[in-house]
Structure 1
């Protein structure tokens, strides 16, 4: 097996393990589903950091 094929196999294994862990952990927040839209500005919770003063 060449070094390149071994590296590609390693990447595949890491991806599969990471995918399995992510599926097992579930969504990052309750009610979050793929394509749920959301709207609004992410990270803009309405608090003022004072940066614009």
Structure 2
């Protein structure tokens, strides 16, 4: 008489493999530490503001950005 073989999961059912659980835990830990370090460091450019309506005459590259906004993006129009 042949003995029935157990599945590789044993009696755990459909539980995910331990390596996957460890990887996900490590991923959450890395993102948590990254967020904490970023929050502690603060803003990268505190004086930076949103888009402006200046003509770009202040020499910071605004004219190039104005030209890029008016470009055709291949819409066929």
TM-score, normalised by the number of residues in structure 2: 0.43
Deviations 1:1-53 (A, max 9, x none): 70000000000000000000000000011245xxx6x115xxx72488xxxxx
Structure (1 or 2) with the larger CA radius of gyration: 2
Structure 1 stretches of 4+ moved >4 Å: none
CA RMSD of aligned residues (A): 2.6
Number of aligned pairs?
Answer: 41
* Corresponding residue of 1:24: 40
Q: Which of residues 11, 22, 29 in structure 2 aligns to 1:13?
A: 29
Stretches of structure 2 that go unaligned for 5 or more consecutive residues are 1-16, 53-59, 65-77
